[in-house]
Structure 1
Amino acid sequence: MVAPGLALIAVTYGLARFAYGLFLPEMRGAFDLSPSLLGAIGAGSYLAYSAAIIIALVYTSRTGPRRMAVAAGAAAVAGIAAVAAAPAAWALALGILVAGASTGLASPPMGEAVAISVGEEKQDRANALINSGTSVGVALSGPAALLLAGQWRLAWAAFALVGLAVLAWNAAVMPREAVADRGDQNGGSEEDGAGAGNGSGRTRLSFSYLMGAQVRPRSVPLFVAALGLGFASAVYWTFSRDLVVQAGDLGQAGSTLFWTVIGISGLAGGAAGDLVGRFGLTAVLRGALVSMAGSMALLAFAPGVLPLAYASAALFGSTYIVLTGVVLVWSVGVFREIPSAGLGAGFLMIAVGQAVGSPAAGVLAGMTSPTTAFFSFAGVAALTALVRPRPDLQGLQVGE
């Protein structure tokens, strides 16, 4: 179950969503786009993600993981193909929007599939490994950009073919039933008071389940941290390669290698579940946020110094995937009755932060400079590190 799930996350996140940042300099030239418009197009991807994850959050717990995983793969392929064939900026924006929606559809069914197919003691590790698929996709997109230098449309067409293969794989192996259906078949399950029952032992997804008085002390810190993570990271995903090209004067090969380093280093994020188990949720969360802030400040300080730029890429790639893994593990720990709901709600907050952060970064870069934008967003990441998870999360080592 981990392999097809990781592949779907690689296609939806690493290719359909984040490859926009990799090919942004070429798209800027092809369509003569301003920084604010580039940021707005990136924001469209995150807004589509936000809307799609709400749909997936509601329906995955009812229909099971397979249908939503297939929908995610189909949206990724359609969006990527639309970008490859875009005749104008509006068509490019539409393709990026559809491709971005695929990521929102993909996350909740992965959490549901793991809860069904993997033993409880191994679920945190499995979820973190699947989440690291983002890095696999980002890492693969870099060599594709080098092999097809100057041919970004061909690269996106190739991504669509990869997406088709992964779509077929997930359609064949993803479980059909939902966690709640399995609970019903077993006669219901115990509730810890965070959920809302329907009298049959089944926990219902509702606003009170996510933000009710009983769960709010545990869920609000999670949502604030996820929102801050999303907002702060948006500037790097959208404008980092553009910064090393425009301000750092890196060429096609050097800037593409920069992007590949982000992806390869992110593979370390697959250890997020193990890190939380060893050092505690709070320590990993704060350490990774401060490190991510450092990566942004480092790139702003020396975008044209190759060793420092690559060090920044390695630091950002590894800490971002660790942080999304932390949000994943934290979400499932807060909302254990409906894993897809917890994962979906946490990742929705990341997307909302990115939807706001991407255009904000574009406007700030246009009004001041890209360097100022990166330093400012590094400050947001550092401030987010002040958030502290509640110490009473079932099955999680929180720490001080």
Structure 2
Amino acid sequence: MATKTEEHTARWWPIAATGAGVIALCYGFARYAYGLFVPRFGETFGLTTVAVGVLGGLSTAGYGLGLLLSPRTSARSPRGTVLLAGAAATAGLALMAVAPDVVVFAAGIVIAGGSAGLVSPGVAQLIGETVGARARPRAQTWANTGTGLGLAASAFTPLLAFGWPAIWATFAVLGAAMTLVAWRTLPRTRPAEATTGPARGVAPLMLNSVLIGATSAPYWTFSSSRLTEAGLGPVAATWCWFGIGVAGLLGGLAGPAAERFGLRAGNLATWTLAAAGIALLALPHPGLPGALVSGALFGITYLALTGLCILWAARLFPTRPARGVTWSFAGLGAGQTAASPLAGAAASAIGLGAVFGLTALVALVAWSQLHPRLAPPEGLAHVRHGRPRGTYVPDAARGSRGAGRKASRR
């Protein structure tokens, strides 16, 4: 008879695939697609540049609210949290589609943004509770690539002849269908143990997450403007956005790489590729090939780095990964919030090309993780073969390892 872990390990992919689908809905449609349609929203509601920025801030506020709620809801029911995220995305998109004025539209943005804050911790907690330990890193990182799937699916929608309300209504219908699939597919779990998790080791995770936010914000905000400045048209920018999404699907390989080479090695290799991708937009004339390569590298590394953050958080909080993911994604959001206006101010002074060059250099700060105190924790597979000095192993994992040795002696 198969053990409980073996059963879950054999069935990890339906949970990861469904989680990726809900993440695609919440990030690709409910959160990031807003930026693709800003000109159309401005025409419909008569928005100024300031108003567009305020609406973007409301999306971030909703995201933050979702992150605040997610640890508690995920502890009670990670499946319920994922379903709540899907329902919030669907409701927010539908409200935006039928909004008669900007106030109702703004309410929809807040609700849709909240779905993104709920979904990643919920999916991480569900995988942590239902997938066997050997398959868990793969499940976590492949589920996280749902963001790339959503970006790819929404990339060409601005080129459609339909009005944006019809496109948003279609997003809402797809959201309802995806939420129904999740309701039918995702397993139920018991409430997680009440614990705050280890406090030790959280600061390096937060620093890494803030660095991801700070280096990705200029790309999300100004890459299209940089391509236009370099002589490329809007269709080329759309293809680059599509490339970010499609290439991002390969970010799921970060899980197997971390298992084989270690979390620190995988993280630093990914950071180096991220710096190279950002630096390509610092070239005076990157051209379409350079822009496409830059977008592909950014997509792969952004999804890989956020997936590795989920693994990092899960190792610090073995029984409550949602708590660690919340800390991590809050740091990422803080980095993005602070970096966008700073990048805009710097661009007016030194130009966008120089901003991307400086951002690439900032990404290399991640190599400070060579210091043991800033390094991510390695998994037990690496501990068995000799734990690197200074590497943190959670008490829960250390205790279970010791218990296993005692049992083997008996």
The alpha-carbon distance between structure 1 residues 286 and 69, as it changes in their structure 2 partners (threshold 3 A), is same
CA distance in 2, matches of 1:92, 1:247: 31
Q: 1:356 aligns with which of 316, 335, 338?
A: 338
2:82 paired residue number: 69
Correspondences of 1:167-246 after superposition (within 5 Å) = 167-178=179-190, 180=192, 202-205=193-196, 209=197, 211=199, 215=200, 218-244=201-227, 246=228
2:403 paired residue number: none
1:44-101 residue CA offsets vs partner (Å, 9 max, x unmatched): 333322221121112211x211221122112212222344345666655544333221
Of 358-367 and 124-133, deviating more is 358-367
2:175 paired residue number: 163
Q: How far off is 1:315 after superposition?
A: 0.6
2:151 paired residue number: 138
Q: How far off is 1:112 after superposition?
A: 1.8
Q: 1:129 aligns with which of 142, 161, 170?
A: 142
Higher RCO (CA-CA < 8 Å; seq separation 6+): 1
The alpha-carbon distance between structure 1 residues 288 and 26, as it changes in their structure 2 partners (threshold 3 A), is farther
CA distance in 1, matches of 2:264, 2:337: 26
The alpha-carbon distance between structure 1 residues 110 and 68, as it changes in their structure 2 partners (threshold 3 A), is same
CA distance in 1, matches of 2:27, 2:175: 11
Tell me the amino acid that sits aligned with residue 292 of structure 1. Answer: A
Correspondences of 1:285-300 after superposition (within 5 Å) = 285-300=267-282
Q: How far off is 1:14 after superposition?
A: 1.6
Tell me the amino acid that sits aligned with residue 380 of structure 2. Answer: G
Tell me the amino acid that sits aligned with residue 64 of structure 1. Answer: S
CA distance in 1, matches of 2:102, 2:130: 43
1:80-133 residue CA offsets vs partner (Å, 9 max, x unmatched): 234434566665554433322111110111112112321111011001110011
CA distance in 1, matches of 2:105, 2:357: 29
Tell me the amino acid that sits aligned with residue 223 of structure 1. Answer: M
The alpha-carbon distance between structure 1 residues 391 and 382, as it changes in their structure 2 partners (threshold 3 A), is closer
2:407 paired residue number: none
Please say which structure displays the higher CA radius of gyration: 2
Q: How far off is 1:144 after superposition?
A: 2.9
1:245-273 residue CA offsets vs partner (Å, 9 max, x unmatched): x4234334322111100000001101111
The alpha-carbon distance between structure 1 residues 390 and 249, as it changes in their structure 2 partners (threshold 3 A), is closer
Instruction: Decide whether the 8 Å contact of 2:208 with 2:366 is kept in 1.
Output: yes
Instruction: Decide whether the 8 Å contact of 1:249 with 1:304 is kept in 2.
Output: no
The alpha-carbon distance between structure 1 residues 392 and 305, as it changes in their structure 2 partners (threshold 3 A), is closer
Q: How far off is 1:229 after superposition?
A: 0.5
Q: How far off is 1:25 after superposition?
A: 5.0
Instruction: Decide whether the 8 Å contact of 2:284 with 2:353 is kept in 1.
Output: no
Ranges in structure 1 where 5+ consecutive residues have no aligned partner: 181-201
The alpha-carbon distance between structure 1 residues 95 and 203, as it changes in their structure 2 partners (threshold 3 A), is closer
Matched, 1:257 2:239: yes
CA distance in 1, matches of 2:99, 2:280: 35
CA distance in 2, matches of 1:5, 1:231: 26
The alpha-carbon distance between structure 1 residues 230 and 56, as it changes in their structure 2 partners (threshold 3 A), is same
CA distance in 1, matches of 2:140, 2:357: 32
TM-score normalised per structure 1: 0.82
The alpha-carbon distance between structure 1 residues 346 and 166, as it changes in their structure 2 partners (threshold 3 A), is same
Instruction: Decide whether the 8 Å contact of 2:263 with 2:376 is kept in 1.
Output: no
Q: How far off is 1:304 after superposition?
A: 6.4
1:97 paired residue number: 110
2:253 paired residue number: 271
TM-score normalised per structure 2: 0.80
Tell me the amino acid that sits aligned with residue 77 of structure 1. Answer: T
Q: How many aligned residue pairs are there?
A: 367
Tell me the amino acid that sits aligned with residue 19 of structure 1. Answer: A
CA distance in 1, matches of 2:349, 2:95: 31
CA distance in 2, matches of 1:130, 1:106: 11
The alpha-carbon distance between structure 1 residues 39 and 282, as it changes in their structure 2 partners (threshold 3 A), is farther
